[in-house]
Structures are given as C-alpha cells and as structure tokens.
Structure 1
C-alpha cells in the first residue's frame, strides 16, 4: 500500500509539522522519514530539549528542522494573523496564549503556508488536534463538517486488498446532507490512496427491502448524490452483503452500478462505522489506517495516544500524500 505513496512523496517532497517534538515515538518516525527521503519533518519544541531527547532514544535528527514556539522570530506576525482569523472570538492575549502551545502554533504554520500539513495527538487529545484545525485552517469551501475515514489494507498473494470506510470516528449521527458530504470527501480520499471509488451507501435495507428512519436517511442521501455531477459511481441504500458480494448483488439488486463491487463504504452512523471497521480489522485480518480527517483546507491528522513509532511513520506518509 505504501510503495506508491512513498514514490509520490519522493518526487514531490512535502514539509510536515509534528506537534510533539519531544516524544520518542515522534523522534524515531521523523528520523526515519528524513533518512528515507520521504518528507521534510518539522519538529516543534525547544531545540536543546529535542536534541537531548533524540540522544536519549538513540535517533539522529541531524538536518531536521526544529522550531521553538516560544522563540519564533515571526511570532508577532503569527499572533496578528491569528487575531485576524479569530476576530470577535479571541483577543490578542488569548491568541498569544494559544500560540504558546504547539497544537495551535503548528496549525498556524500550516495556515500560513509554511508547511503542507500536520500530525499530532501522540500526547494531545483528538479535540486538541481538531479544534485548532477547525478554528484556523477551517473546512474546504462548500463543506460544513469534518469527517473521517479508515483505509483497510490486507496483503494477498496478488498484492493487496484495499477498502475505504467512513465515517467511523467523528460524526455520531450524520444527517442525510452530512452523509452526502462524507461520501464525496471519502471518494476524494480513496483516490489519494489509489482506490478508484465505487461508493456504497450502507443500510440494513437494500433498495427498499427494509423500512425505517435510518433507511430513509440513506436513501435520500443517495438520491442527492446521484443528482450531483460526480466522477464516481454511487448507489444505495445497500446492505453490506449486496454491496460486497457479486453473488448476493445478482439476487438483490442486479441493475446496480456499484453492488457486488463496492470498495468505498459509507456507514449510516458512527455505531455501524466503528463496529464495522473493527470487525474487519480483528476478524478479517486487515490493517486499519486512520482515522484520517477529511474536509479540511489542509491535511491535518490525529494520532492515537497509544500509537507506536511505526504507526506515526505510516500516518505521516498518509497525511503528507493528501491534498
């Protein structure tokens, strides 16, 4: 899965901010990414402290850029820019205080075009990574929400089996309009990971076989998607077996352009999504990469606080390859 992404990044090297520059997992991943020539890591923290931490864990950070938010030469310009962005919501004192913290400081580096994206959350909560992104980078024009997807990957004899699942981590009970937005953004993400999206809008009903408010929501969202000028096929509402199995699709919905061959699955709510990806991970033997945030104006992603250095390394590649 990662070979194509690494090749893309080596041909177009991007700078990625790591908010927790003192963390040994971040240092190891950044050192490897720099040594492998995949991207340009930017670590946040006091340079002397970062150097000491790197020495303690045995990883070289020679040639890696380190910025101390508390001693940044253009700090005043950054404060002024944030005051402008948060006009009426945060005054200069509040902005100055926020920018002393690496999550806000790193997000402003991305907002000001000084880095392509950001990866945080090794010690910060998800909210502390997402909140600055929503306040400063904001959602892509036309988008109202941030959503998430997981890339599910399993090695096979012929290469790899890969699917995209959403939303499994952010939106609890999306409305039909939010499902539309999630589907469009997830198709965009799929393309970034070399999956040509065939989108199934999942339900406990296939084309009217079941009834209920949730079925209506998924059906209506699908109809809105079909009325749009999309460059990918979408269909629903579909049960998972009809979306995935060609044999079942022939029985339940033989005329569907997606059923039986879907590779991008949109769940009706977070319960179904979260349970679904974990079943695929634990019973199906898939590697689950995510949650990958969608809908923002720049690539910003959140790590699990229980992550290891290998997970940081791979999530950095995933983040950097996104537009």
Structure 2
C-alpha cells in the first residue's frame, strides 16, 4: 500500500472508529437505491452507526439488511405528528395541509422530520436526490442552527504530501450551496467549517480566506468582500486562527507565506480554505480531486440545527458509509437524543 493510500485509509478508519463510539442513529431515506443498501450493510457490520432505512411500502421491493430497521412512512404512527410539524414550520409560508400530508409521506421529508423531532440523530441522502432537494428538505424541516443564517457545505479533501512527509486532510468551503456569498455569508461559512472540522477531523482549525490578492497586493470588489469577512470572523471568534485575504499558495506553502503574508497566523499552515464564490470552490475541489489525486468526501452540509448530509449522485456505497460516519460525528457535538426507533 502506498503512503497516500495508507493515509487515506487511516483517516477514514478513524472516522468510523470515532463514530462508533457515539452510537448515533442515522436515517437513509433512499432505501430503494442499491448503493444505499450496500452502505447500510457495511455500517451494520462495522457498527459505525445504527442505520435505519426509510422506505414506503408501495416502493419497489429491495433488500433489507438482516436485523436492520426499516421504517415505512405510510404505516408509521408518527405520521400525523410529522404533518403537524411541517405545518408549524411552513404553514405561514403557504404550505397547505394537503401539501404537508403529501410531504410527510415522502421518505426524505419524513426522515428529516424525525431528526428534527429528536427521533433520530441525522439523515444521509443525495445518491438519488439533487443537492437542492436535500437542502430544501433540511431547511423546511430542521432549519439553521441558532445564530446561523447561512447553511453551506464543505468537502474534506485527503491530499498527498505537499508541505511535509504526510498526507493531509483539507477543508474546502463552500463548494456546493451558496453561489455568490456576501461578506456576512463568507464569515458564517468559515465559522461553520471550523466548528465541524473540530468534530470531524479533530484538529485545530486554521482558516485561510482565499482571493487573487495577498494582504493588499491587489484590490477589487471581491477582495474587499473577503477582507470584510475576515474582520467579522476575527471579531466574533477572536481565538480562531484566521488569515486573509490570501492567494492559495500563500495559504498553503510556508516559504511563500513568509514572503507574501509575513506574520499572518494561518498563512502557510491553513487547513480550511474559504473560497470567495461557489465557482472557485467547486472548480478547486474537482481540480484537486482529478489532478492531485485527492480523495473528496462530501458535500457535508454545515450550519443546520441537526445534521442532514448530502451526497453526490455519483456516490459509491463506501462514500455513503463515510458520510454517515461524518454525520454521526456532527451529531455527537449536540446533546444526546433519545431515538424512538
């Protein structure tokens, strides 16, 4: 096994080991998808999480893991409670009772509502649904965490050694949700990514706000936006290691950081890269994945009151299992729930 492969395996193994210790119940509403079922079988065997499939009884028959839990929204006694929950959250925004009853029978909305009601710890979907579908359901049923106005996402990139002898895990944010964030939104994205990195990777977040400018080397509207975001984060999280605006080489390479951004605390050692736009973030993570042979895990939604994770529709069964472990770690930072499953 190569050094890079060993590092990737080590990080992913640690995810599942730490998730196993949390004993979290994670719902899988895409239970007719073979990859999802395979992931649930793996998770059952590993004990990483307690996986529960959510599938309507009138859906095509699929494999049910031996000894696994399967919930049918059409038969579940909590269905009326979920209808009322949806009306409480969206009735004032025009959701009718008929619409609420229809959504409550949808496995995605049913699963997210159970998470919202404290009946489970998290939900994983996106192998079949689009990111927009997953995000809408999570916002409608759960919403943002207190004090958070921006729900966003991160990818965790396991990359080959580039500033030492060991592979590293980098956080790329936001790469999937907010197209053109304001300074306030950029600050929210960075703060959420830092909080989740502590839970998921377990190290000290070191945040770099990226730009085409390094500490005043250029100017322009996007540079001003990044500078404003850095100021917000420094005011709201004074103990967080943060720098910006930085070009990406100054954020990652110590010798270049010394020339371009001397004295900046995150320069050259950043492990969280905050991109100024969705274009930049999405392009960067795919370039890293394809050209640097990085392993990308995500997108992981951040900023929700309770975790509901997204997947790429190209996700493999292994990808789904890894995201489930991350979802359990996101939930572990919250008070213990009492699953009713």
TM-score bracket for the superposition, by shorter chain length? over 0.9
More off after superposition, 224-233 vs 120-129: 224-233
Count of matched residue pairs:
317
2-structure distance, mates of 1:322, 1:144: 18
Q: Give the conservation status (yes or no) of the 8 Å contact 1:162–1:195.
A: no
Deviation (angstroms), 1:49: 6.4
Cα-to-partner distance string for 1:257-290 (whole Å, 9 max, x where unaligned): 1111111110111111111111111111110111
Question: 2:115 is matched with which residue?
Answer: 110
Deviation (angstroms), 1:80: 2.0
Question: 2:86 is matched with which residue?
Answer: 82
Deviation (angstroms), 1:91: 2.4
SS in 2 for 1:72: coil
Task: Give the counterpart of 1:200 among 186, 202, 208.
Answer: 208
SS in 2 for 1:169: coil
Cα-to-partner distance string for 1:118-160 (whole Å, 9 max, x where unaligned): 0112222222211111111000111111111110113669653
Deviation (angstroms), 1:106: 0.8
Structure 1 length as normaliser, TM-score?
Answer: 0.93
Report the CA distance shift for 1:251/1:155 in structure 2 as closer, same or farther (over 3 A): closer
Deviation (angstroms), 1:243: 1.0
Task: Give the counterpart of 2:45 among 32, 35, 38.
Answer: 35
Task: Give the counterpart of 1:134 among 139, 143, 153.
Answer: 139
Question: 2:168 is matched with which residue?
Answer: 161
Deviation (angstroms), 1:226: 1.6
Question: 2:148 is matched with which residue?
Answer: 143
Cα RMSD of the aligned pairs, angstroms, is 1.8
More off after superposition, 268-277 vs 189-198: 189-198
- Residues 1-323 of structure 1 correspond to what in structure 2 (within 5 A)? 1-46=11-56, 52-54=61-63, 61-88=65-92, 89-154=94-159, 160-192=167-199, 193-323=201-331
Deviation (angstroms), 1:294: 0.8
2-structure distance, mates of 1:162, 1:306: 22
SS in 1 for 2:91: coil
Q: Give the conservation status (yes or no) of the 8 Å contact 1:69–1:100.
A: yes
SS in 2 for 1:265: strand
Deviation (angstroms), 1:105: 0.6
2-structure distance, mates of 1:290, 1:107: 18
Cα-to-partner distance string for 1:156-194 (whole Å, 9 max, x where unaligned): 696531111111111111001111101101111211222
Structure 2 length as normaliser, TM-score?
Answer: 0.88
2-structure distance, mates of 1:283, 1:119: 28
